[in-house]
Structures are given as structure tokens and as C-alpha cells.
Structure 1
Amino acid sequence: MSFKTIQTYFNFTKDQRTGIFFLFLIIVVLQTTYFFLDLSVASKEYPEKQKWLALQSEMDSLKVDFKNKKPIIYLFNPNFITDYKAYKLGMSLQEIDRLLAFRKENRFVNSPKEFQSVTKISDSLLNEMAPYFKFPDWVNNKKKDTKFKEYTVYQNEASAKKEKIILIDINQATKEDLVKIYGIGEAISVRILRQKETLGGFVSMEQMKEIWGLSPEVIENLNTHFKVTTLARFKKIEINNASLKELSQFHYFRYALAKQIVTYRSMYGNIRNIEDLTKIKGFPVDKANIIGLYLDFN
């Protein structure tokens, strides 16, 4: 290809040269604009989005805290411990089976030492579990067969005079015994006796907190003079056979809870222990140890 041939490619008419000039000028203007101006699209800020992001961050933080948090172990009666809870506390399947076999004979352990004797758990595991054991008052006082017991207290350190306080079984207390306590009149004494009749007998002095009109100070006075030394003889409620009406008439159950219990039985079969009852919505878990003593799970 000769130079003249190449030169023909650059021969433009006047209109073509004008077009090329304006095209070049447009390119220069666009390049200058792109260089000096920030044409990036500004991201829009949405307040709701920021709020949700902050909430998500808080939730992530709570999840981390929850994973690192040690589970809280509440006081419990070891006679009613479930397989799952026993396993979580470190008991082996053989140890759990020994306790279940013992309970099937309708027998109870009444102390940490007896619990270890039945289950054969190690001393180290017993030391970890024992602080969470909670036995009823009547168990703690089961060796006290007499109605009365004398305690020596000092009313005043200066005088150092001994006064004997007669400790009476609350289930054998009379109206006259109750009104002797400061803060208890005839009305409250009658209320206490009616509650005893309704329940068939008290199983713990904790039940005094359920009686309307008793202040903490009066309850403390009651605990000084009365205890549950022997378990009252009453007919236990057969939780797996009782009708809806019978369950709803129990002091600690109401119709709605009784209906839930009947529904639970129909869906899952017999209720084995108090732990099964605590799974039912509306069950007063804080009173489980007391309620369990009024029930028969056979």
C-alpha cells in the first residue's frame, strides 16, 4: 500500500471535519466532567433498616451470652428427679436405673447419704448435687415421733434466762394453740384450721404463706412454735385415675389446669412423677415439691 493510498483515508470534506471537531470537543468535555465531578450514587439511609441492624446486633450479643451462661439449678426433691435432669447433672444410666427401681417399690430416699446408697454415685458427684436437694419438713423431722419437743432459747442475753418453747405439730394444733401466737386472732386461726381441713393436713410450714392475712413476722412466729413433725394421714389423689371433677376440686388445681392434666394423660399416657406435671402449662412449679406429696402416681 503506497503513501498516496493511505492519504486518501484522511481526506475529509468540510462537513466531516466539522463533525469530527465537535465529536472531539464532546469527548473532552465528558472526560473533564468525569474527572472533576463525583458522580457516584449516594446510598440512601433508611432509619428502619438501621434500627433492625442494631436489633440484630443486640440479638447476636444475647445469643453469645446465652451460650456462655451456666444453667441455673433450682432446689429439687431427688425422689422426683427425671431421667433427663439426672443425666444432665452427671448421673450414669445405671445410677438412674437404680433410683427408678427403688421408686417403683414406692420407697423414698430421705437424705443425701441414702440417695448415694441407692444410686451408688461417687462422692464428688454427691457433693455437687447435694446442695440442691430439698426434702419436705416432715422428712427432716421424721425421727421426731412425739407431739412435743422442748427447745431452749434466750429472750435476753443480759438476763440470760432460759425459757422453754413447746414445739407443736401444726397438724395437731387447736384454735387455742394458734391464738396464743402474737398476731393471730380467732379469724386467722379459723382460716388456718379450714385450710388444714381442705388439704387433709399440712406437709410443710411453707404452706402458711398461702393463708391470707399472715404477715412475714407472724409466719416467723408460727415457725418458732409449730412444725410439721409427722405427715398427716390423708387420701392421696390418684393423678392417673382421678376425674376432671376430682382434679379441679384439689386445692392447688383449678378447672383449667385439671383439664390440661386430663388432656396430657390422653396424649402421653400415665403421669409418672411430679416432673411430668411441671411440663403442663399453668402448673405452679414453685409448689411442685409440696403438691407432689398429695398425689399418687401409681
Structure 2
Amino acid sequence: MNFKKITNYFKYSKEQSKAVLLLFGIIITSQMIYFFVDFDSQEENDPEEQQWLSLQHGIDSLKIQKDSLAYKVYPYNPNFISDYKGYKLGMSIAEIDRLHDFRNKNKYVNSAAEFQSVTKVSDSLLQTMSSNFKFPDWVTNKKSTTKYVNYTTKAFAKKEKVQSDINSATQEDLIKVYGVGAAFSERILKYKATLGSFVSMDQIEDVWGLSPEAVQGVKDNFKIGTTTNLNKLDINNASLKEISRFPYFNYKQATSIITYRSMNGDFVNIEDLIKIKGFPVDKAKIIALYLDFD
């Protein structure tokens, strides 16, 4: 090997030597800057990037929290179960469709047993779901009442221990009762004229203004006698105005009756009327005697 020839490559002029030294200086300086200067600090201090990192951290926390939450069921009316809610509750598509088909006929389920009859859900699923069923108060109240019995006017009369027929009583007869003066006696007679005849002594309680003592006094001194001229309401043909004038119905109840009749057809008996929201169920036995269903 010719070393002499090789060494010729490492012979520099004065200017070349300065250039080489300068190059080495730049390289060494660059390396020192790379190792000793923290370039990430500027990026971490970037306000915009910090804001995005903070937002991303919040999103990640919400995702973790959402995944850890269980589906909580609050009390609900089973008549209004949506597809999604039914799915979350464990119902099959067929069971949900049966409920929706039933509701599309403008019908309502009013008990857990009726819900199962319509949807065909299993006993185990019904037991889980029914603990959160919440039906309207009027449905609950209706269920708590005793089954309607079609009493006759004689049944009312047997319960009363009385002396005179209230339907033939005059103002002078009524005034003799303690607590019933001229004004109240006239009010009782006007109320009787609206009905045609009383069918129960309990109707005296509906006369506005009478004290409990006066009501009891009338009950003790009178009885139900003749009830031949009842002013009956043709419930299947009466207008809104006629129904709202009936002593036991207000305008709102009359509107509900007209709406129900137009959607479901004629009423067959008093039990059809009991289904209407707001119907005075506690007076159903008396009201039935003043209605004509033919």
C-alpha cells in the first residue's frame, strides 16, 4: 500500500483547515444543543394544545363513567314503553309489537296481569318489570272500589229508617227539620225537581250548603217512596250541553264522555262509563238510575 499517496489527501491549505475546524465546531455545537436543550417544553407550554389535552382527558373520564353506570329503571306507565325501553327491559321484538298493536287500538293495560296477557312476557320478566309499573291514580282508585252492583230503588229504601216520603215532601215539611230553613228547603226542592225524584237519601248530601246535622236530620225524618218520574238522560244520544247540565257531570266530564262515545260506540251499561277518566265512581250506583242506555 502506498501510504505516501494516501497522506496526500489529508494535506490542507490554511483556508481548508479553518473550514474543517468550523465544520467540527458546528457539529459539536449541534450535538450539545440536541442533548442539553429540552425541545418538548415549548410544546407542553402551548396553551392551545394544553386546552385540547384537557378536553380529551374530560371526554375519556366521561366514557369511563358511562361504561360503569348500570341502566337504572324509574317508575313508568307500561302503556308507553318505547322500542328502546322495551329492549333495555328485556322484552323481545314480538312482545313489544304486541303491546304497540294493542295501544294502536286506543286500548290501555291497567294491571300487571293484563300487561302479561297482551304481551305474553314470561312470569320471571313480568316479576322484574311489574315492580316499577306506575298506573294513573284514577286506575288505582277504580281498582280499589267494589264491583258495581245494580241496586234497585227498593234496596235504597230498605236501608233508611224514616217517617215521610222525601219525594212528596213540601217546603213546610222540610222546614220542620232542625237546620233546614226556608232557603235550604227551597234548595232541596229545586234539586229534586232537576232529578225528577230522589232515589237515595244520600243525595241530600249533594245539596249545597247543608250542614252535616241538617243532612242527618232530613235522613232521619224522610224516606224514599215513589220514584216514578225520574228525569233520565239518554247517554248515547245526548249532546255535550245536555250532558254537562246533568247534576252529576261537569263540562270536563261531559267532554270526556262525548270523546269516549265517538271513539268506542254506544255505552251498554254503567260499567262502560266507569272506564272514563274522572268519572265519579263513588256515585255510579245512583247515576245509573238516571241514565237511559237504549
Q: TM-score, normalised by structure 1?
A: 0.49
Among candidates 118, 140, 148, match of residue 78 of structure 1: 148
Classify 1:197/1:68 alpha carbon distance in 2 versus 1 (closer, same or farther; 3 Å).
Answer: closer
- The equivalent residue for 2:197 is 201
Among candidates 147, 151, 155, match of residue 139 of structure 1: 155
In 1, the alpha carbon distance for the partners of 2:37 and 2:271 equals 84
2:215 is paired with a residue whose SS is helix
In 2, the alpha carbon distance for the partners of 1:251 and 1:241 equals 17
Classify 1:288/1:17 alpha carbon distance in 2 versus 1 (closer, same or farther; 3 Å).
Answer: farther
| Contact 1:247 1:258 (8 Å CA) reproduced | yes
- The equivalent residue for 1:215 is 211
The answer to whether the aligner puts 1:295 opposite 2:288 as a matched pair is: no
- For 2:155, the aligned partner's letter is V
1:60 is paired with a residue whose SS is coil
Classify 1:224/1:26 alpha carbon distance in 2 versus 1 (closer, same or farther; 3 Å).
Answer: farther
Matches within 5 A, 1:161-200: 166-200=162-196
Q: Which has the larger radius of gyration?
A: 2
| Contact 2:76 2:134 (8 Å CA) reproduced | no
In structure 1, the gaps of 5 or more residues are 1-11, 45-55, 80-107, 109-134, 152-165
- The equivalent residue for 1:18 is 29
- For 1:240, the aligned partner's letter is N
The answer to whether the aligner puts 1:277 opposite 2:261 as a matched pair is: no
- The equivalent residue for 1:90 is none
CA-CA distance at 1:258 after TM superposition: 4.3
Matches within 5 A, 1:227-246: 227-228=223-224, 231-244=227-240, 246=242
Classify 1:24/1:184 alpha carbon distance in 2 versus 1 (closer, same or farther; 3 Å).
Answer: same
In 2, the alpha carbon distance for the partners of 1:261 and 1:288 equals 14
Classify 1:140/1:289 alpha carbon distance in 2 versus 1 (closer, same or farther; 3 Å).
Answer: closer
- For 1:215, the aligned partner's letter is S
2:144 is paired with a residue whose SS is coil
Classify 1:285/1:20 alpha carbon distance in 2 versus 1 (closer, same or farther; 3 Å).
Answer: farther
- The equivalent residue for 2:74 is 60
Matches within 5 A, 1:143-162: none
2:199 is paired with a residue whose SS is coil
CA-CA distance at 1:78 after TM superposition: 2.3
In 1, the alpha carbon distance for the partners of 2:256 and 2:221 equals 39
In 1, the alpha carbon distance for the partners of 2:251 and 2:134 equals 40
| Contact 1:247 1:253 (8 Å CA) reproduced | yes
In 2, the alpha carbon distance for the partners of 1:16 and 1:169 equals 126
CA-CA distance at 1:214 after TM superposition: 0.5
CA-CA distance at 1:140 after TM superposition: 4.5
* Pairs aligned (count): 196
Once the two structures are aligned, what percentage of the paired residues are identical?
Answer: 42
Q: What is the CA RMSD across the aligned residues, in angstroms?
A: 4.4
CA-CA distance at 1:270 after TM superposition: 0.8
In structure 2, the gaps of 5 or more residues are 1-22, 60-70, 78-129
In 2, the alpha carbon distance for the partners of 1:252 and 1:231 equals 18
CA-CA distance at 1:272 after TM superposition: 1.9
In 2, the alpha carbon distance for the partners of 1:275 and 1:16 equals 102
| Contact 1:202 1:232 (8 Å CA) reproduced | no
- For 1:14, the aligned partner's letter is G
CA-CA distance at 1:216 after TM superposition: 2.1
Classify 1:62/1:244 alpha carbon distance in 2 versus 1 (closer, same or farther; 3 Å).
Answer: closer
Q: Which moved more, 1:187-196 or 1:222-231?
A: 222-231
In 2, the alpha carbon distance for the partners of 1:286 and 1:66 equals 28
| Contact 2:75 2:134 (8 Å CA) reproduced | no
- The equivalent residue for 1:91 is none
Higher helix share: 2
1:78 is paired with a residue whose SS is coil
Q: Which moved more, 1:226-235 or 1:216-225?
A: 226-235
Classify 1:61/1:193 alpha carbon distance in 2 versus 1 (closer, same or farther; 3 Å).
Answer: closer
